[in-house]
Amino acid sequence: MRRIAPGIGALLLAIVTACTAPAPPGAERTTASAPAGTPASLALRGQVEVAHSPGTQDVVAEVRRQAAARCPTGFIIRSLHTGTPTPGEITARLLPFEAVVDCTPPA
């Protein structure tokens, strides 16, 4: 039992460290190399619970909600793709999506 406690502590420390580490470049925001005054690009990925079949209406609403939270000065949706749900996602009524959004600079 005494040997297990330090192992569990080290495992918890590794998990906390991994969760608090910064995201790798390009994971969600890709603004590091953008010069001042140019729109920032966001890559949004996730799942949406489908309330209206086939779900595209729900996906667009979710992308707009996330983009508005990240781009207070406005945004343009460059691309939006829905993926093929897995059997587990179909049962849970989830639809995966990927979108690219450009934040517009303030006027």
pLDDT at 10 over 60: no
> Is the Cα dihedral 74, 26, 24, 66 positive or negative?
positive
19-72: per-residue pLDDT in tens? 444 444 433 333 333 444 556 888 889 999 888 788 889 999 999 999 999 998
70-93: per-residue pLDDT in tens? 998 899 999 999 988 888 888 888
Mean pLDDT of 4-18: 51
- pLDDT in the model for residue 64: 94
pLDDT at 102 over 60: yes
pLDDT at 107 over 50: yes
Domains of the chain: 25-103 (3.30.200)
Residue type at 96?
P
- pLDDT in the model for residue 32: 31
Task: Give the CA-trace dihedral at 66, 18, 33, 73, to 10 degrees.
Answer: 20
- pLDDT in the model for residue 6: 56
